Amino acid sequence: MIFTIDAGNTRTKWALFDDAGEVVWQDACLNRDVASAIFLPDGQSASSTIIANVAGKDHAEKTAAQLQKFHIHQPHWAKASAEACGLKNSYAQPETLGIDRWAAVVAAWHLIQAPCVVVNAGTAVTIDAIYPMSAQNLGFGEFKGGLILPGLRLMQQSLGQATAQLPMLDEALTVQSGAVRQKIFAQNTADAMFFGALHAIAGAVTLMSHTLNAMFRTWPNVVMSGGDARSILKNMTADVTRQTIIVDNLVLQGLYLLEKEAQQHQTSSAN
């Protein structure tokens, strides 16, 4: 069993994977509640634990302390590398890539070994490009790079804080899951803020897709994850969405793959 933790900017998610890569337990909490998190149910244990933490040192310490209550004392704090799981990291300094982004693109490459836009839509939104290294070796891919934007809430929050006459977040935010398309001509300030943020993100995803289409003369797949993925999807054009899928817990799946590969390397070295 491999236990995975994705400590994001706002929430911490976790999942326990069996040897076949299936999730047998998962849960989540707000970061402020991690000290009471039930990481593993009664009777379950893990052979190894891997963590992606982008929430800072204090949160890492709280997470480690809570893990000890479940007899997990030496977790693997994952970092991006130059290469893993058949994917090359072309970041200028590979180790500086956020581990959540690296895990997400690793998982997406495992699913779709073809030109692909990988979107993780949480507190921040990351939009990354992966594609095969060459036509002769379609099984080996390259993470080319990508974009980071404020998420839906963060964009609205920044407008409310930085301007005198625009409403603060609680007044401006509408129900994201019910967002409709084509609300370009918003007729109240709250909608103008919400749909402005929504279309900014959808436009960035569309731009990345069109760029890959120009490079490879085929529309790329789009793999989306995160709490706002469905709202963003509803506001993208059909040429992009026809090859789009939403994958829950993409980062956790990538962490599982990274840890599984690390275990295989350890076994090979031991032999």
Q: Is residue 161 located within the same domain as residue 227?
A: yes
Q: Are residues 30 and 140 in the same domain?
A: no
What average pLDDT does the chain have?
87
55 and 89 part of one domain: no
Q: Across residues 185-208, what is the average pLDDT?
A: 85
Do 71 and 91 have their domain in common? no
pLDDT tens for each residue of 239-263: 777 889 999 899 999 999 999 998 8
Domain count, the chain: 2
β-pair partners for 137 = 134
Q: Return the pLDDT at 134.
A: 73
Q: How sure is the predictor about 182, in pLDDT bands with cuts at 50, 70 and 90?
A: low
What is the pTM assigned to this prediction?
Answer: 0.88
Instruction: Specify the range with the lowest mean pLDDT, choosing from 16-30, 162-176, 236-250.
Output: 162-176
Q: Does some domain include residue 111?
A: yes
Q: Which pLDDT does position 160 carry in this prediction?
A: 65
Which of 77, 96, 130 is the C-terminal boundary of a domain?
A: 77
**Domain containing residue 185:** 83-252
Q: Check residue 172 and give its pLDDT.
A: 42
What are 129's two structure tokens?
Answer: 């490009």
Condensed to tens digits (0 to 9), the pLDDT of residues 40-74 reads 998 888 889 999 999 999 999 999 999 999 999 89
**How much is the average pLDDT of 157-178?**
55
Burial pattern 48-61, b for ≥16 Cβ within 10 A else e, equals bbbbbbbbeeebbe
Rounded to 5 degrees, φ, ψ at 165 are -115, 5
Q: What is the dihedral of CA 201, 206, 212, 215, to 10 degrees?
A: -130
Question: Do 97 and 69 lie in a common domain?
Answer: no
170: in domain: yes
**Start-to-end Cα distance in the chain:** 22
Residues 121, 200: one domain?
A: yes
Catalytic residue (one of 6, 100, 128, 228)? 100
Known catalytic residue: 100? yes
Tell me: do 173 and 205 sit in the same domain. yes
pLDDT at residue 178 above 60? no
What is the chain's alpha carbon radius of gyration, rounded to the nearest angstrom? 19
CATH label of the domain that carries residue 227: 3.30.420.40
Asked if the structure places residue 271 within a domain, the reply is no
